[in-house]
Amino acid sequence: MNALIKSATIVDSKSDFHNETVDILIEKGRISKISKRITNPNNYKEIKLDNLHVSQGWFDSSVSFGEPGYEEREIISNGLKTAANSGFTAVALNANSNPVIDSYADITFVKSKAQDNAVSLYPIGALTRGSQSEDLAELFDMTNAGAVAFYDYQKPICNPNLMKIALQYASNFNGLVCSFPQESKISGLGVANENINSTKLGLKGNPALAEELQVARDLFILEYTEGKLHIPTISTAKSVDLIRTAKNKKLDVTCSVAIHNLIFTDDSLQEFDTNFKVLPPLRTLNDCEALIEGLKDGTIDMVTTDHNPIDIEDKKVEFDFAKYGTIGLESAFGAMQHIFTTKKTISILTQGKSRFGVSESTINEGELADLALFNPDKNYEFSLKHITSRSKNSMFIGEQLKGETYGIIANNKIVLK
């Protein structure tokens, strides 16, 4: 793949050309020249776009695509196209398919579905067989097949001894164990944050305590085992404090937060819109502020869209019975820019790669072209026309966003909207 990018502003603090507006020549998938002006040497494809900015490709540590088994929600090929259109060059795929991805063959299957794609897919294997929280899955075999972490998606490991054994066993091959932060006996049948809003709306409450107890438990077990832990999608102020303390003790722990938990609160549930039914639930403004501060000071290592397509049959029902989940790839950049500057947004969207074994390429001559292309200044109302996912369950529909993505250049391929 050869291309010439014209008049692009580079947003990459590790680049020699950070904040400069330049031309970028790409030959055979690698950046061969960066200069103020480059003439097209061999009539290569030229990329000229309005207010074009480029950064390192973005990474999402938690996406779900449905396939195999839930193809009505999404398929891997279209999910990767959605990621590319949204500026992501790498995604970690959750194991919540049917059957659950819990074996060498399963990892091989999903990797084969992503072959020769511009977006690199990094499969996460289930931590336990069938994600049933009873017996460990084939962790070492899945590692050999290409699994980058182990996680029973949105299913807590209830047995603390099982979590202890998982951390001890995985440490033999530097495996990354993920633990969903929810104590199920406390959360019970709760579908919304336990607060004044859940009481007024008559919705069963899922208290912050349920998350914080599980986080505290897992951090105690981590300290005992000296393992390697990732806590996905935390949502409360106390969780941030607990993880901050653990990091000060030099425990090998990272965590993420879903973008929607930074922006929306449980006030959004007034209309019983099931697109706002997510797990962990939307919390309070105080929690949002603490999560944002946690990102700023480095306590929270990465954001995720927690992209989870759910078909209309499972969303257009009573709130209590609707499935959890929202899509988020398409709205990620525009939503983040309502909280952070462009520079900080890009920094956050490119964090977390090393934790999941994702390679990084800076925007310098001689490096592989792994680029997100975007216009950071465009304001627009997010609507169905911006959604390329098969499922349309986005809580950002109708929201004012800032920043438009054009696509990516990665893996020797160009994907533009």
Residue 396 counted as domain residue: no
Regarding whether 350 and 237 lie in a shared domain, the answer is yes
Q: How confident is the model at residue 41 (pLDDT cuts 50, 70, 90)?
A: confident
Interatomic CA distance for residues 304 and 349, integer angstroms = 8
Q: How confident is the model at residue 308 (pLDDT cuts 50, 70, 90)?
A: very high
Kindly state the tokens that stand for 17: 């050309």
Regarding whether 260 and 299 lie in a shared domain, the answer is yes
Interatomic CA distance for residues 230 and 150, integer angstroms = 9
Residue 225, exposed/middle/buried by CB under 10 A (0-12, 13-18, 19+)?
buried
Give me the count of residues in the chain: 417
DSSP string of 162-215, one letter each residue: HHHHHHHHHGGGTPPEE-----HHHHTT--EETTHHHHHHTPPEE-HHHHHHHH
Residue 128, exposed/middle/buried by CB under 10 A (0-12, 13-18, 19+)?
buried
Interatomic CA distance for residues 406 and 417, integer angstroms = 6
Residues 281, 193 contacting (CB under 8 angstroms): yes
User: In percent, how much of the chain has pLDDT > 70?
Assistant: 100
Catalytic residue among 287, 301, 306, 314: 306
Regarding whether 258 and 173 lie in a shared domain, the answer is yes
Regarding whether 256 and 242 lie in a shared domain, the answer is yes
Q: What is the number of other CB atoms lying within 10 angstroms of the CB of residue 298?
A: 10
Q: How confident is the model at residue 398 (pLDDT cuts 50, 70, 90)?
A: very high
23 in catalytic set: no
pLDDT reading at 88 higher than 90: yes
What's the domain count of the chain? 2
Mean pLDDT of the region 251-266: 98
Domain of residue 377, residue span? 3-53+364-383+401-416
Report the predicted TM-score, pTM, of the whole model to 2 decimal places.
0.96
Regarding whether 160 and 67 lie in a shared domain, the answer is yes
Mean pLDDT of the region 50-69: 97
DSSP string of 58-103, one letter each residue: EEEEEE---TTT-TTT--HHHHHHHHHHTTEEEEEEPS-SSS---S
**Could you tell me the CATH number of the domain that includes residue 236?**
3.20.20.140
Regarding whether 196 and 70 lie in a shared domain, the answer is yes
pLDDT in tens, 123-136: 999 999 999 999 99
Give the gyration radius of the chain's Cα atoms.
21
Kindly state the tokens that stand for 12: 């990459």
pLDDT in tens, 173-226: 999 999 999 999 999 999 999 999 999 999 999 999 999 999 999 999 999 999
Angle, in degrees to the nearest 10, between helices 237-248 and 208-225: 10
Collapsed DSSP state (helix, strand, coil) of residue 11? strand
Regarding whether 229 and 314 lie in a shared domain, the answer is yes
Regarding whether 23 and 75 lie in a shared domain, the answer is no
The contacts of residue 120 (CB under 8 Å, 6+ apart) are: 89, 90, 91, 114, 358, 410, 411
pLDDT reading at 312 higher than 90: yes
pLDDT in tens, 146-188: 999 999 999 999 999 999 999 999 999 999 999 999 999 999 9
Interatomic CA distance for residues 44 and 191, integer angstroms = 54
Mean pLDDT of the region 274-297: 98
The per-residue pLDDT of the chain, averaged, comes to 97
pLDDT in tens, 361-377: 999 999 999 999 999 99
Mean pLDDT of the region 338-349: 96
Residues 384, 392 contacting (CB under 8 angstroms): yes
